[in-house]
Amino acid sequence: MALVGIIANPASGKDIRRLVAFGSVFDNQEKVRIVRRVLLGLAAMGMERVCYMPDTYHIVERALRRIQVPLEVFPADFRARGEPSDSTEAARVMEALGTGCVVTLGGDGTNRVVAKGSCAVPVLPISTGTNNVFPAMIEATVAGLAAALVARGLVPEEEATFRSTQLEVLRDGEPADLALVDAVVCDDVFLGSRAVWDIAKVRQIVLNRAAPGSIGFSSIGGLLHAVAPDAPEGLYLELGPGGRPVTAPVAPGLIETVGVTTLRVLGVGDRVEVRGAPAVVALDGEREVEVTGRERVSIRLSPHGPRVVDVERTMAAAARRGVLAPRRRGGRPCPATPNVPTS
């Protein structure tokens, strides 16, 4: 029986960018309301089973309190520790259960740790964080419908999804971590509060996607050379004095002009060495990897990122097939306007 997973990160939307930039606040009750709408969408599209990540805020359990849905909703079987690794573990469990689609609630960071657990299951990312490129701001009801369409195979995966590229962090040549949008090398020695906001500390930027209309470091690249998320290329930028000035929205409410001294288009498999130590590599906006100088750290563009559900494409495919608008018997099309009962 088809299964959808839900990974809702209770920690997203609260980091220091609310303080150092003007990031939106996304409280957990809002995530509860989003999950509620996802569940209603899933149920409406005929899903019967939903597996979710247990979390400290009990987001999914709370979502269920206010609705009656004919769904079997059960937690992934592991003990939540209130840490990012919960999302990784949940993704792993969901893949093992044969989940057809995983809906995530969070930001780039959340999806990154989900991808660390599984890249095989199509992921439908709903943005609840700040500074996001990977997940989209989409209506959860529609997301629920789309997730069910994919999980139940009502629209073919190749029409509904695309395969994202990703960045692999290699430590002495061995994969150590990954990023879904950007890997940024900065002058820092601590992971600390994790977010990166001081552009002056940034030396190198590696991107696997870059759009001029996005927010964050990928926008810097995007303003120079756009890279689609499924295109087999990436970008490498070096920042420093004397470079080409680029004015970009590097964080919510923070528009900075940076000097780009080097811009190189990367192909799949290309590798960028992290230079200088000590340093910290921030992955998708969060300081994650400490570079001490005792080992070689590099970043490689990989074509094997997660499969991503594109809600627009999914719904368009469903429309083409009339999944939500079946033709009447006899082949006559439905009336263009709904029937309004009159008394």
Partner 1 sequence: MSITREKLVDAYTTMVKIRTFEEHAAQLFAEGKIPGFVHLYVGEEAVAAGVCATLRDSDYITSTHRGHGHLISKGGDVKRMMAELFGKRTGYCKGKGGSMHIADMTLGIMGANGIVGGGPPLAAGAGFACKYLGRDDVAVCFFGDGAANQGTTHEAMNLASCWKLPVVFVNENNRYGISCSVDRATCVTDIADKAAAFDMPAVSVDGNDLMAVYEAASEAVERARRGAGPTLIECKTYRQRGHFEGDPAGYRSPEEVAEWKAKDPIPRLEKKLLEMGVLAEDRIREIRAGVLAEVEEAVRFAEESPLPDPSEVTEDVYA
Contacts of 159 (CB under 8 A, 6+ apart): 313, 314, 317
d(CA 117, CA 273): 25
User: Residue 131's closest CA among 109, 163, 105, 164?
Assistant: 109
C-beta of 4 vs 80, nearer to partner 1? 80
Opening angle at CA 214, ends 232 and 203, nearest 5:
75
d(CA 17, CA 193): 10
**Sheet with 166-171: strands ordered across:** 174-179, 166-171, 297-302, 271-273
Alpha helices in 71-224 (DSSP H): 85-96, 108-117, 140-151, 157-160, 217-222
Contacts of 89 (CB under 8 A, 6+ apart): 76, 78, 117
d(CA 132, CA 285): 9
C-beta of 159 vs 290, nearer to partner 1? 290
- The reply to whether omega before 338 is within 30° of 0 (cis) is no
C-beta of 137 vs 200, nearer to partner 1? 200
Nearest distance in Å: CB 19, partner 1: 5
Residues that bind partner 1 (CB under 8 A): 10-11, 14-16, 18-20, 25, 27-29, 56-58, 81-82, 188-194, 278, 290, 292
Angle, helices 140-151 vs 28-44, to 10°: value is 50
Nearest distance in Å: CB 114, partner 1: 20
C-beta of 28 vs 161, nearer to partner 1? 28
Nearest distance in Å: CB 28, partner 1: 6
C-beta of 33 vs 271, nearer to partner 1? 33
* Burial class, 282, CB count within 10 angstroms (exposed 0-12 / middle 13-18 / buried 19+): buried
Alpha helices in the chain (DSSP H): 17-20, 28-44, 59-65, 85-96, 108-117, 140-151, 157-160, 217-222, 311-321
C-beta of 27 vs 172, nearer to partner 1? 27
C-beta of 72 vs 83, nearer to partner 1? 83
Nearest distance in Å: CB 327, partner 1: 47
Nearest distance in Å: CB 142, partner 1: 26
CA distances from 163 to 118, 123, 157, 260 (A): 13, 10, 10, 29
Nearest distance in Å: CB 188, partner 1: 8
Nearest distance in Å: CB 16, partner 1: 5
C-beta of 17 vs 152, nearer to partner 1? 17
C-beta of 17 vs 116, nearer to partner 1? 17
Nearest distance in Å: CB 297, partner 1: 15
Nearest distance in Å: CB 198, partner 1: 8
DSSP bridge partners of 179: 167
